[in-house]
Amino acid sequence: MLTNVCLKGTEELYATPILQQTAFWSEVKTSLGVNTLAINFTAQRSDLFPKLVDQSYIQSDLLVVLQQIDRNHCVAYVPYGPEIEPTDEFQGMFLEELSESLRSVLPINCILIRYDLCWESYWAREKDHFDENGIWKGEPESHSQELRFNFNTHNWNFKKAYSNILPANTIYLDLTRDSETLLGRMKPKTRYNIRLAHRKGITVRSMGMEGMDIWYELYKETATRNHLLLNDIKYFRAVLDARADNTSSPADVSLLIAEYNGKPLAAMFLVITGNRGSYLYGASSSEHRNLMATYALQWEAILKSQQVGCTEYDMFGISPSPDPEHPLYGLYKFKSGFGGDIYHSLGCWDYPLDNKKYTLFRASELHSQGYHLS
């Protein structure tokens, strides 16, 4: 099924709308002291999409992030990759063959490959996984997921990870519509709040590294308010400072700040990759929340993405359903108001390369916060 599996320079990673599979993301990780690999592979179309009679080959690649978990062992993490999404019944088989092929190019001390798949969940396309109101009921328990995912594999080796790292649920907006149509598809309250913010004098400007201190103060306030783990400022500096302009898969990053009379009220990172704009990180002040700065900020990011030629916008991360008990419920309420289509992906799947050491690693994740593989 697969041929020509080999390492290449990360600057050669192919153009893709998936931020976490770009040369740009490799630059971000490298600047933070994390090792990355770019791996090329070739697959025959008819092996991935059996209904096709096309016998041609697809050349693709993936970015792998190598995360040390102790002095002697590492994990290969594939964020939102691979991009190729085979027909459902061939996904496990394809990923199994890819995993076995990767053994030869990964470090000998690598104990597993963790795929953070952006492939659409099987259960998001089946009517019996939605309630009478059209709300998704989610995936079945892990054992049932593993039975289905391992279908057609030789070794039945894939394990559903205990938790996902990147968001498995998001909302995509279709930016091929004009701005009035986009506004018309929003919930009335969201549309009203955008217009209210403009009437109240909220303005949005784009900043570079000079806006980092503004961002971080808002971010710290947001993290404290929502009881979130606080990331170091160096992480955000790396995202804003990274450059991959001379590569095949660059990205354009903007730090957008929403202000009222010069006072920052909200901020976000907008990243443009290929035809996609992505809302990556956001923060807001507890003051003047009645001015709806976050709505003006998000609308500006949508328009900015559209102006540079993007055809879709990724809201990046919501709860899987409108469950008030879910920690991301607030993001669901806010982001779903902008219209768009909810998308549920398969999330994180593990392929052990050393079963004994993987069992120990999995136990450590279950009984602690585990290792943050981002």
Domain boundaries, the chain: 2-167+345-366, 176-310
Look-up: residue for tokens 């590294």?
209
% of the chain at pLDDT higher than 90: 91
- Average pLDDT rounded to a whole number, residues 78-90: 96
The mean pLDDT of the chain is 95
- In Å, how far are 157, 165, 231, 283, 290 from 225, measured between CA atoms? 41, 22, 15, 11, 17
| Reported confidence tier of residue 370, pLDDT bands at 50, 70, 90 | very low
Report H helices in 247-366.
293-307, 329-336, 355-366
As to burial, measured by CB atoms within 10 angstroms (0-12 exposed, 13-18 middle, 19+ buried), residue 367 is: exposed
Query: What was the pLDDT predicted at 374?
Result: 37
In the prediction, which pLDDT does 199 show? 98
The pLDDT, as a whole number, for residue 110 is 98
Length of the chain in residues, anyone?
A: 374
37 φ, ψ to 5°?
Answer: -130, 145
Cα torsion for 315, 317, 323, 327, to the nearest 10°?
-130
Residues 6+ apart with CB under 8 A from 283: 215, 218, 219, 221, 222, 266, 267, 268
Per-residue pLDDT for 371 more than 50? Answer: no
Q: Please state the rounded mean pLDDT for residues 316-324.
A: 93
Confidence of residue 53 (pLDDT cuts 50, 70, 90): confident
- Give yes or no for residue 27 having a pLDDT over 90: yes
User: H helices within 166-318, ranges in order?
Assistant: 179-185, 188-199, 212-225, 233-241, 293-307
Question: How many whole angstroms separate alpha carbon 153 and alpha carbon 84?
Answer: 18
pLDDT over 50 (residue 300):
yes
Assigned CATH for 2-167+345-366: 3.40.630.30
Task: Record the pTM.
Answer: 0.94
Asked whether the predicted pLDDT for residue 164 surpasses 50, the reply is yes
The yes-or-no verdict on residue 373 having pLDDT over 80 is no
| Reported confidence tier of residue 93, pLDDT bands at 50, 70, 90 | very high
Q: What is the mean pLDDT of residues 25-34?
A: 97
CATH architecture for segment(s) 176-310: 3-Layer(aba) Sandwich (3.40)
Domains 2-167+345-366 and 176-310 share a fold: yes
Q: What is the pLDDT of residues 190-226, one digit of tens each?
A: 999 999 999 999 999 999 999 999 999 999 999 999 8
- In this predicted structure, what is the pLDDT of residue 100? 97
pLDDT of residue 51: 77
